Protein backbone atom coordinates (compact mmCIF):
# COMPACT_ATOMS: atom_id res chain seq x y z
CA UNK A 1 0.00 0.00 0.00
CA UNK A 2 2.76 2.44 0.83
CA UNK A 3 5.01 3.84 -1.84
CA UNK A 4 8.50 3.28 -0.70
CA UNK A 5 11.97 4.58 -1.16
CA UNK A 6 14.95 2.70 0.06
CA UNK A 7 17.57 4.59 1.92
CA UNK A 8 20.90 2.88 1.92
CA UNK A 9 23.31 4.05 4.56
CA UNK A 10 26.90 3.72 3.50
CA UNK A 11 29.45 2.34 5.90
CA UNK A 12 31.69 5.11 7.12
CA UNK A 13 33.88 6.27 9.96
CA UNK A 14 33.97 2.73 11.25
CA UNK A 15 37.48 3.05 12.53
CA UNK A 16 36.82 6.35 14.25
CA UNK A 17 34.73 4.64 16.83
CA UNK A 18 37.67 2.38 17.51
CA UNK A 19 39.91 5.34 18.22
CA UNK A 20 37.43 6.92 20.54
CA UNK A 21 35.26 9.19 18.49
CA UNK A 22 31.93 9.96 20.03
CA UNK A 23 28.61 10.42 18.28
CA UNK A 24 27.22 13.88 17.80
CA UNK A 25 24.98 15.44 20.42
CA UNK A 26 22.11 16.16 18.10
CA UNK A 27 19.67 14.07 20.01
CA UNK A 28 20.58 15.89 23.20
CA UNK A 29 20.03 19.34 21.76
CA UNK A 30 17.12 19.17 19.39
CA UNK A 31 16.12 22.79 19.90
CA UNK A 32 19.49 24.34 19.14
CA UNK A 33 19.33 27.53 17.08
CA UNK A 34 21.83 29.46 15.02
CA UNK A 35 21.41 32.28 17.52
CA UNK A 36 22.89 29.93 20.14
CA UNK A 37 26.12 29.94 18.17
CA UNK A 38 28.28 33.03 18.59
CA UNK A 39 28.24 34.07 14.96
CA UNK A 40 28.42 37.75 14.07
CA UNK A 41 25.34 39.45 12.67
CA UNK A 42 26.38 39.49 8.97
CA UNK A 43 26.81 35.72 9.11
CA UNK A 44 23.57 35.18 11.03
CA UNK A 45 21.87 37.22 8.34
CA UNK A 46 23.41 35.17 5.53
CA UNK A 47 22.36 31.97 7.26
CA UNK A 48 18.79 33.28 7.58
CA UNK A 49 18.76 34.32 3.94
CA UNK A 50 19.92 30.84 2.98
CA UNK A 51 16.75 29.57 4.64
CA UNK A 52 18.51 27.69 7.44
CA UNK A 53 16.68 27.65 10.74
CA UNK A 54 18.56 25.13 12.83
CA UNK A 55 22.22 24.19 12.59
CA UNK A 56 23.00 20.63 11.54
CA UNK A 57 24.84 18.37 14.02
CA UNK A 58 28.22 18.98 12.47
CA UNK A 59 27.60 22.71 12.64
CA UNK A 60 26.62 22.49 16.29
CA UNK A 61 29.75 20.55 17.12
CA UNK A 62 32.31 22.11 14.84
CA UNK A 63 31.59 25.83 14.77
CA UNK A 64 32.31 26.73 18.44
CA UNK A 65 35.77 25.07 18.61
CA UNK A 66 36.65 26.38 15.19
CA UNK A 67 35.79 29.90 16.35
CA UNK A 68 38.30 29.33 19.16
CA UNK A 69 40.96 28.51 16.60
CA UNK A 70 41.15 24.76 17.27
CA UNK A 71 42.19 22.22 14.64
CA UNK A 72 39.45 19.85 13.60
CA UNK A 73 39.16 16.28 12.40
CA UNK A 74 35.73 15.77 10.88
CA UNK A 75 34.33 12.48 9.77
CA UNK A 76 31.40 13.63 7.69
CA UNK A 77 29.94 13.12 4.29
CA UNK A 78 28.63 15.65 1.85
CA UNK A 79 25.04 16.47 2.67
CA UNK A 80 25.62 16.95 6.39
CA UNK A 81 26.08 20.71 6.15
CA UNK A 82 29.83 20.41 6.53
CA UNK A 83 30.65 23.27 4.15
CA UNK A 84 28.85 25.80 6.34
CA UNK A 85 30.38 24.12 9.40
CA UNK A 86 33.81 25.20 8.26
CA UNK A 87 32.99 28.24 6.09
CA UNK A 88 31.10 30.18 8.78
CA UNK A 89 33.82 30.16 11.46
CA UNK A 90 36.51 30.82 8.87
CA UNK A 91 34.62 33.83 7.57
CA UNK A 92 34.13 35.08 11.10
CA UNK A 93 37.81 34.75 11.85
CA UNK A 94 38.78 36.71 8.76
CA UNK A 95 36.21 39.41 9.35
CA UNK A 96 37.22 39.86 12.98
CA UNK A 97 40.83 40.31 12.03
CA UNK A 98 40.95 42.07 8.69
CA UNK A 99 44.27 42.27 6.97
CA UNK A 100 45.44 43.54 3.63
CA UNK A 101 46.55 40.55 1.62
CA UNK A 102 49.60 40.93 -0.61
CA UNK A 103 49.32 40.09 -4.30
CA UNK A 104 49.32 36.33 -5.10
CA UNK A 105 48.70 35.48 -1.43
CA UNK A 106 45.70 34.01 0.37
CA UNK A 107 44.77 33.84 4.04
CA UNK A 108 42.76 30.61 3.68
CA UNK A 109 43.25 27.62 1.40
CA UNK A 110 40.55 24.99 0.93
CA UNK A 111 41.71 21.97 -1.02
CA UNK A 112 39.09 19.78 -2.70
CA UNK A 113 39.52 16.68 -4.87
CA UNK A 114 37.33 17.76 -7.76
CA UNK A 115 36.61 20.86 -9.75
CA UNK A 116 32.86 20.50 -9.08
CA UNK A 117 33.35 20.48 -5.35
CA UNK A 118 35.81 23.39 -5.58
CA UNK A 119 33.23 25.46 -7.41
CA UNK A 120 30.50 24.55 -4.92
CA UNK A 121 32.62 25.35 -1.89
CA UNK A 122 33.68 28.65 -3.44
CA UNK A 123 30.03 29.48 -4.15
CA UNK A 124 29.13 28.64 -0.56
CA UNK A 125 31.79 30.95 0.83
CA UNK A 126 30.45 33.76 -1.31
CA UNK A 127 26.90 33.16 -0.16
CA UNK A 128 27.72 32.92 3.54
CA UNK A 129 30.15 35.83 3.25
CA UNK A 130 27.76 37.99 1.29
CA UNK A 131 27.64 40.71 3.95
CA UNK A 132 31.37 40.74 4.64
CA UNK A 133 33.65 42.44 2.18
CA UNK A 134 36.12 39.66 1.53
CA UNK A 135 37.83 38.42 -1.62
CA UNK A 136 37.51 34.88 -2.94
CA UNK A 137 38.99 32.87 -5.77
CA UNK A 138 38.73 29.33 -7.08
CA UNK A 139 41.34 27.53 -9.16
CA UNK A 140 41.03 24.15 -10.88
CA UNK A 141 42.37 22.38 -13.91
CA UNK A 142 40.82 21.65 -17.28
CA UNK A 143 40.32 25.32 -18.17
CA UNK A 144 42.67 28.14 -19.16
CA UNK A 145 44.53 29.64 -16.25
CA UNK A 146 44.28 33.32 -17.33
CA UNK A 147 41.27 34.25 -15.18
CA UNK A 148 42.63 32.37 -12.20
CA UNK A 149 46.01 34.11 -12.43
CA UNK A 150 44.25 37.48 -12.68
CA UNK A 151 42.03 36.68 -9.68
CA UNK A 152 45.09 35.82 -7.61
CA UNK A 153 47.21 38.75 -8.72
CA UNK A 154 45.84 41.16 -6.12
CA UNK A 155 45.62 38.53 -3.38
CA UNK A 156 42.49 36.98 -1.87
CA UNK A 157 41.16 36.14 1.57
CA UNK A 158 39.91 32.69 0.62
CA UNK A 159 41.15 30.41 -2.12
CA UNK A 160 39.46 27.13 -3.01
CA UNK A 161 41.59 24.88 -5.19
CA UNK A 162 42.18 21.43 -6.58
CA UNK A 163 45.72 20.16 -5.95
CA UNK A 164 47.08 19.89 -9.50
CA UNK A 165 46.25 23.39 -10.69
CA UNK A 166 47.26 24.87 -7.37
CA UNK A 167 50.75 23.38 -7.70
CA UNK A 168 50.94 24.53 -11.35
CA UNK A 169 50.24 28.10 -10.34
CA UNK A 170 52.69 27.90 -7.44
CA UNK A 171 55.39 26.53 -9.78
CA UNK A 172 54.81 29.46 -12.11
CA UNK A 173 54.98 31.86 -9.16
CA UNK A 174 51.44 33.11 -9.65
CA UNK A 175 50.49 31.96 -6.19
CA UNK A 176 52.25 32.02 -2.82
CA UNK A 177 51.21 30.20 0.37
CA UNK A 178 53.37 32.20 2.81
CA UNK A 179 51.32 33.85 5.52
CA UNK A 180 48.45 31.36 5.16
CA UNK A 181 46.30 31.26 8.32
CA UNK A 182 43.81 28.44 7.74
CA UNK A 183 44.11 25.25 5.71
CA UNK A 184 41.15 22.97 4.97
CA UNK A 185 41.53 19.55 3.41
CA UNK A 186 38.11 18.43 2.20
CA UNK A 187 37.17 14.86 1.27
CA UNK A 188 40.59 13.53 2.17
CA UNK A 189 39.66 9.92 1.44
CA UNK A 190 38.58 10.82 -2.06
CA UNK A 191 41.79 12.80 -2.54
CA UNK A 192 43.81 9.70 -1.77
CA UNK A 193 41.60 7.51 -3.94
CA UNK A 194 42.31 9.89 -6.79
CA UNK A 195 46.04 9.57 -6.25
CA UNK A 196 46.61 13.02 -4.76
CA UNK A 197 48.79 11.97 -1.84
CA UNK A 198 51.99 13.30 -3.44
CA UNK A 199 50.54 16.69 -4.40
CA UNK A 200 49.04 17.01 -0.90
CA UNK A 201 52.44 16.34 0.67
CA UNK A 202 54.02 18.95 -1.61
CA UNK A 203 51.40 21.51 -0.67
CA UNK A 204 51.72 20.71 3.04
CA UNK A 205 55.46 21.36 2.83
CA UNK A 206 54.72 24.88 1.61
CA UNK A 207 52.31 25.82 4.41
CA UNK A 208 53.37 27.87 7.43
CA UNK A 209 53.74 25.70 10.56
CA UNK A 210 51.58 28.07 12.57
CA UNK A 211 48.11 27.72 11.13
CA UNK A 212 44.68 26.34 11.85
CA UNK A 213 44.01 23.05 10.05
CA UNK A 214 40.68 21.39 9.29
CA UNK A 215 40.59 17.86 7.93
CA UNK A 216 37.43 16.23 6.58
CA UNK A 217 36.91 12.71 5.38
CA UNK A 218 33.85 10.50 4.96
CA UNK A 219 35.83 7.43 6.01
CA UNK A 220 38.81 6.92 8.28
CA UNK A 221 40.93 4.01 7.10
CA UNK A 222 44.42 3.83 8.63
CA UNK A 223 46.17 5.73 5.83
CA UNK A 224 43.78 8.66 6.25
CA UNK A 225 44.16 8.52 10.01
CA UNK A 226 47.93 8.71 9.57
CA UNK A 227 47.71 11.65 7.19
CA UNK A 228 45.40 13.48 9.62
CA UNK A 229 47.73 12.86 12.53
CA UNK A 230 50.63 14.31 10.56
CA UNK A 231 48.75 17.54 9.86
CA UNK A 232 46.72 18.31 12.97
CA UNK A 233 47.60 19.62 16.41
CA UNK A 234 45.35 18.54 19.28
CA UNK A 235 42.27 18.44 17.04
CA UNK A 236 38.65 18.48 18.07
CA UNK A 237 37.06 15.35 16.68
CA UNK A 238 33.63 15.42 15.16
CA UNK A 239 31.84 12.49 13.68
CA UNK A 240 28.56 12.79 11.89
CA UNK A 241 27.31 9.60 10.38
CA UNK A 242 24.03 7.87 9.85
CA UNK A 243 22.94 5.88 12.83
CA UNK A 244 24.34 2.57 11.71
CA UNK A 245 27.43 1.58 9.85
CA UNK A 246 25.75 -1.30 8.11
CA UNK A 247 23.63 -0.97 5.02
CA UNK A 248 19.98 -0.74 5.87
CA UNK A 249 16.84 -0.86 3.85
CA UNK A 250 14.01 1.32 4.97
CA UNK A 251 10.78 1.97 3.13
CA UNK A 252 9.84 5.54 3.94
CA UNK A 253 6.68 7.49 3.42
CA UNK A 254 5.11 10.72 4.57
CA UNK A 255 1.39 11.14 5.28
CA UNK A 256 0.01 14.65 5.14
CA UNK A 257 -2.62 15.19 7.75
CA UNK A 258 -4.16 18.06 9.72
CA UNK A 259 -2.74 18.26 13.20
CA UNK A 260 -6.15 17.61 14.73
CA UNK A 261 -6.51 14.34 12.81
CA UNK A 262 -3.14 12.83 13.63
CA UNK A 263 -4.55 10.72 16.44
CA UNK A 264 -7.23 9.31 14.18
CA UNK A 265 -4.65 8.51 11.55
CA UNK A 266 -2.43 6.78 14.09
CA UNK A 267 -5.31 4.58 15.28
CA UNK A 268 -6.19 3.84 11.67
CA UNK A 269 -2.62 2.72 10.98
CA UNK A 270 -2.72 0.34 13.92
CA UNK A 271 -5.60 -1.54 12.29
CA UNK A 272 -2.91 -3.09 10.12
CA UNK A 273 -1.67 -6.24 11.90
CA UNK A 274 1.71 -5.76 10.21
CA UNK A 275 2.38 -3.08 12.82
CA UNK A 276 3.77 -5.61 15.25
CA UNK A 277 6.53 -3.83 17.08
CA UNK A 278 6.37 -0.10 16.60
CA UNK A 279 8.38 2.83 17.91
CA UNK A 280 6.48 6.09 17.81
CA UNK A 281 8.41 9.31 18.15
CA UNK A 282 7.11 12.51 19.63
CA UNK A 283 8.94 15.78 20.21
CA UNK A 284 7.96 16.20 23.86
CA UNK A 285 7.58 14.07 26.98
CA UNK A 286 3.96 15.16 27.40
CA UNK A 287 3.32 14.27 23.80
CA UNK A 288 4.74 10.80 24.40
CA UNK A 289 2.44 10.29 27.41
CA UNK A 290 -0.59 11.48 25.48
CA UNK A 291 0.06 9.15 22.55
CA UNK A 292 0.67 6.15 24.84
CA UNK A 293 -2.55 6.89 26.72
CA UNK A 294 -4.47 7.25 23.47
CA UNK A 295 -3.28 3.88 22.22
CA UNK A 296 -3.93 2.15 25.52
CA UNK A 297 -7.42 3.62 25.68
CA UNK A 298 -8.07 2.13 22.26
CA UNK A 299 -6.90 -1.35 23.09
CA UNK A 300 -3.40 -1.04 21.65
CA UNK A 301 -0.82 -1.93 24.26
CA UNK A 302 1.71 0.87 24.54
CA UNK A 303 4.08 2.53 26.96
CA UNK A 304 5.95 5.81 26.92
CA UNK A 305 9.59 6.24 27.78
CA UNK A 306 11.15 9.62 28.38
CA UNK A 307 13.35 11.52 30.77
CA UNK A 308 10.65 12.02 33.40
CA UNK A 309 10.27 8.29 33.93
CA UNK A 310 12.48 6.52 36.43
CA UNK A 311 15.25 4.34 35.14
CA UNK A 312 13.42 1.22 36.36
CA UNK A 313 10.16 2.25 34.66
CA UNK A 314 12.03 2.79 31.42
CA UNK A 315 13.78 -0.52 31.75
CA UNK A 316 10.48 -2.27 32.36
CA UNK A 317 8.85 -0.65 29.36
CA UNK A 318 11.78 -1.66 27.19
CA UNK A 319 11.64 -5.25 28.41
CA UNK A 320 7.92 -5.43 27.72
CA UNK A 321 8.54 -4.04 24.26
CA UNK A 322 11.41 -6.39 23.55
CA UNK A 323 9.40 -9.40 24.68
CA UNK A 324 6.43 -8.39 22.58
CA UNK A 325 4.18 -7.74 25.58
CA UNK A 326 3.41 -4.29 24.25
CA UNK A 327 2.95 -3.38 20.63
CA UNK A 328 4.15 0.19 20.74
CA UNK A 329 6.81 2.16 22.52
CA UNK A 330 6.36 5.92 22.45
CA UNK A 331 9.59 7.82 22.87
CA UNK A 332 11.26 11.18 22.63
CA UNK A 333 14.53 11.42 20.71
CA UNK A 334 16.55 11.56 23.88
CA UNK A 335 14.94 8.55 25.48
CA UNK A 336 15.31 6.55 22.30
CA UNK A 337 19.08 6.80 22.37
CA UNK A 338 20.58 3.47 23.19
CA UNK A 339 17.40 1.51 22.55
CA UNK A 340 18.62 -1.57 20.84
CA UNK A 341 15.66 -3.72 19.94
CA UNK A 342 15.64 -6.02 16.97
CA UNK A 343 12.70 -6.67 14.68
CA UNK A 344 11.09 -3.28 15.02
CA UNK A 345 8.55 -3.47 12.23
CA UNK A 346 7.70 0.22 11.99
CA UNK A 347 8.94 3.61 13.07
CA UNK A 348 6.22 6.22 13.15
CA UNK A 349 7.10 9.87 13.45
CA UNK A 350 3.96 11.14 15.16
CA UNK A 351 5.74 14.47 15.00
CA UNK A 352 8.31 15.16 12.31
CA UNK A 353 11.64 16.08 13.91
CA UNK A 354 12.71 19.68 13.41
CA UNK A 355 16.32 18.62 13.00
CA UNK A 356 16.77 16.56 9.86
CA UNK A 357 19.54 14.39 11.28
CA UNK A 358 17.14 13.18 14.00
CA UNK A 359 15.00 11.70 11.27
CA UNK A 360 17.85 9.52 10.07
CA UNK A 361 18.52 8.38 13.62
CA UNK A 362 14.87 7.67 14.29
CA UNK A 363 14.19 5.62 11.19
CA UNK A 364 17.45 3.75 11.69
CA UNK A 365 15.71 1.98 14.60
CA UNK A 366 13.95 -0.22 12.12
CA UNK A 367 15.49 -2.41 9.41
CA UNK A 368 18.30 -3.59 11.62
CA UNK A 369 20.42 -6.55 10.67
CA UNK A 370 19.34 -6.55 7.07
CA UNK A 371 15.63 -6.81 7.90
CA UNK A 372 13.38 -4.52 5.95
CA UNK A 373 11.78 -1.75 7.93
CA UNK A 374 9.07 0.80 7.40
CA UNK A 375 9.15 4.43 8.48
CA UNK A 376 6.04 6.59 8.32
CA UNK A 377 5.99 10.31 9.11
CA UNK A 378 2.75 12.08 9.97
CA UNK A 379 3.24 15.61 8.75
CA UNK A 380 0.96 18.56 9.48
CA UNK A 381 1.09 22.00 7.87
CA UNK A 382 3.63 23.37 10.34
CA UNK A 383 5.98 20.47 9.75
CA UNK A 384 6.09 20.68 5.97
CA UNK A 385 9.39 22.54 5.97
CA UNK A 386 10.96 19.87 8.19
CA UNK A 387 10.21 17.29 5.53
CA UNK A 388 11.96 19.49 3.00
CA UNK A 389 15.02 19.71 5.25
CA UNK A 390 14.99 15.92 5.65
CA UNK A 391 14.77 15.39 1.92
CA UNK A 392 17.68 17.73 1.44
CA UNK A 393 19.73 15.87 4.00
CA UNK A 394 19.04 12.35 2.73
CA UNK A 395 19.27 13.48 -0.87
CA UNK A 396 15.99 12.01 -2.00
CA UNK A 397 12.30 12.73 -1.75
CA UNK A 398 10.20 10.95 0.84
CA UNK A 399 7.25 9.44 -1.08
CA UNK A 400 3.79 10.61 -0.15
CA UNK A 401 1.28 7.99 0.97
CA UNK A 402 -2.00 9.60 -0.02
CA UNK A 403 -4.18 6.49 0.19
CA UNK A 404 -5.23 7.02 3.78
CA UNK A 405 -8.55 8.47 4.94
CA UNK A 406 -7.10 11.59 6.56
CA UNK A 407 -4.92 12.72 3.69
CA UNK A 408 -4.73 16.51 3.39
CA UNK A 409 -4.30 17.56 -0.20
CA UNK A 410 -3.70 21.19 0.74
CA UNK A 411 -0.65 20.28 2.80
CA UNK A 412 0.55 17.98 0.04
CA UNK A 413 0.10 20.72 -2.55
CA UNK A 414 1.88 23.34 -0.51
CA UNK A 415 4.83 21.03 -0.35
CA UNK A 416 4.86 20.14 -4.02
CA UNK A 417 6.65 23.09 -5.55
CA UNK A 418 9.91 22.78 -3.65
CA UNK A 419 10.18 19.08 -2.98
CA UNK A 420 13.38 17.79 -4.48
CA UNK A 421 13.25 15.24 -7.21
CA UNK A 422 15.55 12.47 -8.29
CA UNK A 423 18.34 10.98 -6.33
CA UNK A 424 20.53 14.04 -6.13
CA UNK A 425 22.56 14.53 -2.97
CA UNK A 426 22.57 18.28 -3.48
CA UNK A 427 19.05 19.53 -3.44
CA UNK A 428 17.26 22.70 -4.34
CA UNK A 429 16.26 25.41 -1.94
CA UNK A 430 13.31 27.73 -2.43
CA UNK A 431 13.96 30.70 -4.67
CA UNK A 432 15.64 33.61 -3.00
CA UNK A 433 15.26 37.33 -3.67
CA UNK A 434 12.43 36.51 -5.98
CA UNK A 435 14.78 34.90 -8.47
CA UNK A 436 14.61 31.42 -10.02
CA UNK A 437 14.87 28.16 -8.17
CA UNK A 438 18.58 28.34 -7.46
CA UNK A 439 20.03 27.11 -4.27
CA UNK A 440 21.44 29.83 -2.03
CA UNK A 441 23.78 27.39 -0.32
CA UNK A 442 25.40 26.62 -3.62
CA UNK A 443 24.35 29.25 -6.17
CA UNK A 444 24.72 29.10 -9.90
CA UNK A 445 22.88 25.84 -10.50
CA UNK A 446 19.77 25.35 -12.50
CA UNK A 447 16.88 23.22 -11.42
CA UNK A 448 18.53 20.02 -12.62
CA UNK A 449 21.60 20.65 -10.55
CA UNK A 450 23.63 21.52 -13.64
CA UNK A 451 25.91 24.49 -13.69
CA UNK A 452 24.57 27.48 -15.51
P1 LIG B 1 27.01 20.20 2.48
O2 LIG B 1 27.12 18.99 3.34
O3 LIG B 1 27.86 21.30 2.96
O4 LIG B 1 27.23 19.88 1.04
O5 LIG B 1 25.51 20.75 2.61
C6 LIG B 1 24.40 19.99 2.16
C7 LIG B 1 23.18 20.87 1.94
O8 LIG B 1 22.64 21.29 3.18
C9 LIG B 1 23.43 22.14 1.15
O10 LIG B 1 22.37 22.25 0.23
C11 LIG B 1 23.36 23.24 2.15
O12 LIG B 1 22.91 24.44 1.55
C13 LIG B 1 22.35 22.69 3.14
N14 LIG B 1 22.53 23.17 4.52
C15 LIG B 1 23.68 23.43 5.16
N16 LIG B 1 23.44 23.81 6.42
C17 LIG B 1 22.09 23.78 6.59
C18 LIG B 1 21.22 24.07 7.69
N19 LIG B 1 21.68 24.44 8.88
N20 LIG B 1 19.90 23.93 7.50
C21 LIG B 1 19.41 23.52 6.30
N22 LIG B 1 20.18 23.24 5.23
C23 LIG B 1 21.51 23.36 5.36
Residues 9-28 pLDDT 10s:
333 443 332 222 233 333 33
CA of 427, closest atom in ligand 1: 10
CATH 3.40.50.300 for domain 4-239: yes
Which of 46-51's residues contact partners 24+ apart within 8 Å by CB, and which partners? 46/127, 46/128, 46/129, 46/130, 46/131, 47/84, 47/88, 47/128, 49/130, 49/432, 49/440, 50/127, 50/128, 50/429, 50/432, 50/440, 50/441, 51/429, 51/430, 51/432, 51/440
Ligand 1, CB cutoff 6 Å, lining residues: 52, 55-56, 59, 78-84, 389, 392, 426, 439, 441-442
CA of 76, closest atom in ligand 1: 2
Q: What is the pLDDT of residue 62?
A: 95
Which residue, judged by its Cα, is nearest atom 20 of ligand 1? 52
Q: What is the pLDDT of residue 312?
A: 79
Percent of the chain with pLDDT over 70: 80
Q: What is the pLDDT of residue 369?
A: 52
Which range is least confidently modeled, 206-215, 268-277, 304-313, 419-428? 419-428
Which residue, judged by its Cα, is nearest atom 1 of ligand 1? 81
Matching fold, domains 4-239 and 250-427: yes
pTM of the model: 0.56
Q: What is the CATH number of domain 250-427?
A: 3.40.50.300
Q: What is the separation of C-alpha 232 from the centre of its chain, rounded to a whole number of angstroms? A: 24
How confident is residue 311, by pLDDT bands cut at 50, 70 and 90? confident
Distance from residue 196's CA to the centre of ligand 1 (Å): 27
Q: Where are the domains of the chain?
A: 4-239, 250-427
Which residue, judged by its Cα, is nearest atom 21 of ligand 1? 52
Distance from residue 80's CA to the centre of ligand 1 (Å): 6
Which residue, judged by its Cα, is nearest atom 12 of ligand 1? 441
Q: What is the pLDDT of residue 135?
A: 97
Spatial neighbors of 446 by CB under 8 A, at least 6 apart, are 436, 437, 438, 452
pLDDT single digits (tens) 363-397: 877 765 555 789 999 999 999 999 988 887 777 78
CA of 83, closest atom in ligand 1: 3
What's the order of all strands across the beta sheet hosting 212-217?
136-139, 156-161, 106-111, 182-185, 212-217, 72-76, 236-240
Distance from residue 449's CA to the centre of ligand 1 (Å): 15
Which residue, judged by its Cα, is nearest atom 5 of ligand 1? 81
pLDDT of 170 strictly over 70: yes
Which residue, judged by its Cα, is nearest atom 16 of ligand 1? 81
- Are β-strands 72-76 and 236-240 bridged in parallel, bridged antiparallel, or unpaired? parallel
What's the order of all strands across the beta sheet hosting 278-281?
249-256, 372-379, 346-349, 278-281, 328-331, 302-305
Amino acid sequence: MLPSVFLVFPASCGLMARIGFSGHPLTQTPSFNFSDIALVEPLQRAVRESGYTTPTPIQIEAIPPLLEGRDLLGCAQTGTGKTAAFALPILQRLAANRRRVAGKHTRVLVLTPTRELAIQVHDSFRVYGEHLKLKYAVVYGGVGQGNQVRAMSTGVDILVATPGRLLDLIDQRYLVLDGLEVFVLDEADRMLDMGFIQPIRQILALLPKRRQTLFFSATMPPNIEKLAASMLTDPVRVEVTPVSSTAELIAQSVMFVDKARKKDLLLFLFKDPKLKRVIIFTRTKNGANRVADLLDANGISAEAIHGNKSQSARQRALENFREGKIRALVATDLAARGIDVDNISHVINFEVPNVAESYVHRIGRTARAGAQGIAISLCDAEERSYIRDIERLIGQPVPVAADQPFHSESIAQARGSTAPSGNNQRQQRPARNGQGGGRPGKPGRNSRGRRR
